[in-house]
Every structure is written in structure tokens, then in C-alpha cells.
Amino acid sequence: MEIETSHSESENMQVAKAAGVVGLATMLSRVFGFLRDMVVAAFFGAGLVTDAFWVAFRIPNLLRRLLGEGSLTVSFIPIFTEYLKTGSKDEAFDLADVVFTLLSIILVIVCILGIIFSPAIVSVIGFGFMKHPGQFELAVFLTRLMFPYIIFISLVALCMGILNSLRHFTAPALSPVVLNLSMILATLLFKDFFEQPIVALAVGVLIGGVLQLTMQWPVLLRLGVRLKLNFYFRHPGLRKIGILIFPAFLVSATYQINVFVGTVLASMLPEGSVSYLYYADRVLELPLGVFAIAIGTASLPSFSTLVAKGDTEGLKKTLSFTLRMILFVTLPAMIGLIALREPIISVLFQRGKFDVVSTVMTARALLYYALGLWAYSIVRVIDSAFFALQDRKAPLKASYFALFVNILLSIILMYPLKHGGLALANSIAAAVNVAMLAVILKRKIGPYLDRDFHRSIAWMVISSLLMWGVIAVIDFIFPWNNGAPFPERLSILTVQIVLGFITFIFFSHIFKSAELKTAVDIVKRKLRR
């Protein structure tokens, strides 16, 4: 029992450290992501042209999540980790070579087919564009231009799986910074070279994909990984990955179908609806990416290691710890986004062609998205636990049911709430997904949420509500005005965020939050080094 406890404590610290690295890197990438979106909003606004670009960008991005990080990473890491723990590095690296070879072949074929059938794809995903021929033709052209992006970014996802299994998280987490910088610079430098300036943004995506892959190679070489062609497709490890990857693909597909449904339905709503949802989702991705996805990314190798050791008790403790760490961040973030949704959108995007109406409409989408932030966060961690256990059925069942809920509610809510109804349907579906997965996992490994977990959640909720109270008082003293000068809006929002954050941390300290103590301990260790 002492050995199991030490294993779980060690993995807890591994998760926390890795999450810190990924979180900081992701924070940097999100900052540049917001700078990118500010540039896009300022130069192109929220209208027919930007709707065409985001639909076109979503298509290769969707396939990247399906074929790359969405299914490959979560199915590759458990098997690769198993080879590392029970075999040798050479055997594990041989498996990586085989996966690299097969994936490259698949990606080239998909890219060629995607370019050929772009008109058909856009006509489905951007169905509402058919009534604007110019917008449809632009979306098709941009889709064809950006389709090769899937090759580079999916190979980046494979590199991420290898590096994360070897407990290196920095290079993969920093790669999105390169994409965002590439898109910003391409817009600023090349927009005047094209008849339709937004084409420069698509060129930036393509260049960014190449650079993202390039920056992974030196790190792989330093760790002894030299990816090369290996056509031994009868490798037993490849078969194990194949058994996991199909359901993982379907799980990713259900999420992407949710995105697809939202895009199709939004294209039928008033002009700008696709962009409102996109910009709101970008804001939501800050806490989701910096903390939730960072912790989810860091937890999969640890979960896989504990499963490989047969340490079920350690898995349960690490799972409980990981969920507490995620909710310690996402609960106050959810309350903060709800309370400050309009000020945040106004400060980030309201300039140039992005006017006050765009701010109000985007803030409405952010409100409904934010309601599901806790669920989006938890799903990532629980899914990782199932894939570490090499259970391919449970996530699939839950995601299919959540998909049904999302489609049904989207159709019901899109007319009374417009684009806000699509965001709300997504949040409710995510909550349903969490509920199903939690019940199934409890049946599989036994209770994994102890009294400490529930006590921690109670204090987090109280601290978050007290934070909301402080924000409300500031709003009463300094009423928000979207038409005020930018320095005034920025100053008020900064005061609300800073005082809200201090309030949450203060009461977390008063309530003796174990999660706060863990975070402080990690920072202290980093500073000592």
C-alpha cells in the first residue's frame, strides 16, 4: 500500500509539473492567439468574408483533430508508454516509425481527396453560403489552399504523443505560438498582395503548419527519436493502436459533428453568426486550453503509467487529484467569464470593423458557452482515464448520446435564442457527457471521488461566488459602457479581474485549499531552481 501511495503521489506531482509547463506554454500561445484574432477582427470584422475564412479553416482543422491529436494521440500514448515500461526504448521507437509511415500515407491521400472535393465539402458545412455565390467560391478557394495544413499539423500531433510519453511537454505546447505568429505576420505583410486580402491569412496558416512541425524535430533528435520510414504494418503495437484508434476517432468525430452542426445551423442564421460563435469560443479556449487541456494532456501519460503498473488505487487518487486541480481553475474562470463577458469581448475585439453590436452578440454566445466550461474541462480528463484503461466503448457511448442531445437542443433553441441557442445546446450536451462517463467509470474502477474532493468543490464554489460579488460591486461603482474610450474600458476590466482574482485566492487560502497549496509549492520549487 505504501508503494502504491508513493506511485500515486509521484504521478500527482508529475501531472502538476507537466500541467504547469503546458499551461504556461499554452498561455503564451493563447496570448498570441488573441493578438491574431484582434488583427483579424480589425482588418476583416465579422461578416461574409470572415465567415468564409472560418468555415474554410475549420475543415482542415476538423480533420486534424480527427486524424491527428483527436484520435491518434490518445490511442498512441497508452500503447507507446506500455512499450516503454515493459520493453525497451528501441522497441517503442520502432513502433513510432511504423505509425509515422502509415500516418504520412493516410494524410497525403486525405489531402488530395480534400482538395478535389472541396466544393462538395463546403456546400455541406457552409450550406447557408450557397445563397451568396461569391462567399461560397471564396470558401472553396481558401479550403483548397489550406488543406495541406492537415499533413503538417497531424504529424505534429504524433510528435506530441511521442514527446509527452517521454515526459517532454514544452515544444508541442509552444507550437501553436508559431502558427499564430505566422498568421499575424502574413496578414500584416501580404494582405495587399491579394485581390481578396483574407487570402494572406490562409497563406499564414500553411506556413505556420510547416514551421510547427519543423520545431519538433530537434527535440525528438535530442531524445534519441529519429523518425524514419518503416513499412512493417504487421507490427503488434500497431494493431493495439488500431483497436483503440477507431473508437477514439469516433469519439473525436462526435465532437467535430457537434462543431459541424453548429456551423451549418449558424450559417442559416443572420450574417455574422458564425463569427460570433467563433470569437466567443476563442475566449472560452483561454481557460480551457491553458488549464483544462493542459492538465488533461499531462494526465494521460501518468494514467497510462499507473495502468501499466496495475496500480488501480493510484489511478483513482491521481484521477481525483487531477479533477480537483482542473475545477480549482475552471469554476472561478466560468464565473468570471459569465460576469465579465461583455467587457472581455469589448476590450479584446471591439475595434475597426468589429463594432458594439458585434460585441453584444459575441458576449451573448460567450455566456452560454461559459455555462459548460466545467463540463468541457472534466470530459478531457475522464476520457484520458478511459483510454489509459484501453476502454474504447464507454467514451463512444457517452459521446454519441451527447451528440444526439446537442443536435436536438440546437434545433429547438436556435430560433428563440439564435446563435446563443447553439452555444447553450453545446454546453448542456457536454454536461450530459460528463454525467454518463462519471457513472460508467465508477462502475469500472469503483468510487474515485472521496470526501476531500467534495469538500474542496464546496469551498471552490463559495470562493467563486464571493469573487463574483466583488466584481458586481465594482460594476455598480463603475458601470460598464461599451462606447467608452479604450483606456477607460481596459482599466475597469483590469481592476475587476485583478480584484476578483485576489478575492478568490484570499478565500481559498482562508478555506485551506489543498489545490492552492499544491500550486504554490510548484511555483516555489521552480523559483528555487
For 225-267, the pLDDT digits (tens) are 888 998 888 888 888 888 777 776 776 667 667 766 777 788 7
Cβ-Cβ contacts under 8 Å for 215 (sequence gap 6 or more): 171, 174, 175, 178
Q: How far is CA 356 from CA 411, 420, 491, in A?
A: 28, 17, 18
Q: Is 3 exposed, middle or buried (0-12, 13-18, 19+ CB in 10 A)?
A: exposed
User: What confidence score (pLDDT) does residue 63 get?
Assistant: 65
User: What confidence score (pLDDT) does residue 318 get?
Assistant: 85
Whether residue 343 contacts residue 497, with contact meaning beta carbons closer than 8 Å, is answered with no
Our separate counts of H helices and E strands in the chain read: 22, 0
| pLDDT tier at 3, thresholds 50, 70, 90 | very low
| pLDDT tier at 528, thresholds 50, 70, 90 | low
In the three-class reduction of DSSP (H, G, I as helix; E, B as strand; rest coil), residue 264 is classed as: helix
C-alpha cell at 411: 434545433
Measuring CA to CA, which residue among 426, 405, 78 is closest to residue 247?
A: 78
Q: How far is CA 183 from CA 332, 415, 439, in A?
A: 31, 34, 43
Backbone φ, ψ for residue 224 (5° rounding): 90, 10
Whether residue 517 contacts residue 452, with contact meaning beta carbons closer than 8 Å, is answered with no
- Site of grid cell 490511442: 75
Is pLDDT above 80 for 182? yes
Is pLDDT above 80 for 219? yes
Of 281 and 392, more confident: 281
Whether residue 311 contacts residue 40, with contact meaning beta carbons closer than 8 Å, is answered with no
Distance CA 493, CA 216 (A): 37
Distance CA 241, CA 250 (A): 14
- Range with lowest mean pLDDT among 176-185, 285-294, 299-308: 285-294
Measuring CA to CA, which residue among 179, 173, 223 is closest to residue 202?
A: 179
User: What confidence score (pLDDT) does residue 21 get?
Assistant: 66
Of 492 and 5, more confident: 492
Cα-based angle 424, 425, 431 (whole degrees, multiple of 5) = 90
pLDDT above 90: percentage of residues in the chain: 33
Measuring CA to CA, which residue among 434, 424, 507 is closest to residue 470?
A: 507
Distance CA 333, CA 337 (A): 6
Of 327 and 34, more confident: 327
Distance CA 342, CA 361 (A): 9
Mean pLDDT of 359-372: 94
pLDDT in tens, 372-385: 999 988 888 888 88
Distance CA 433, CA 405 (A): 9
Mean pLDDT of 388-399: 82
DSSP string of 407-432? Answer: HHHHHHHHHHHTHHHHHHHHHHHHHH
C-alpha cell at 99: 505509425
Q: For helices 48-67 and 273-287, what crossing angle results, to 10°?
A: 50
Whether residue 297 contacts residue 16, with contact meaning beta carbons closer than 8 Å, is answered with no
Measuring CA to CA, which residue among 213, 216, 190 is closest to residue 201?
A: 190
User: What confidence score (pLDDT) does residue 1 get?
Assistant: 42
Instruction: Give the number of other Cβ atoms within 10 Å of residue 491's Cβ.
Output: 14
Is pLDDT above 70 for 459? yes
pLDDT in tens, 68-115: 555 777 778 888 888 887 777 888 899 999 999 998 998 899 899 989
Whether residue 369 contacts residue 284, with contact meaning beta carbons closer than 8 Å, is answered with yes
- What's the mean pLDDT when you consider all of the chain? 84
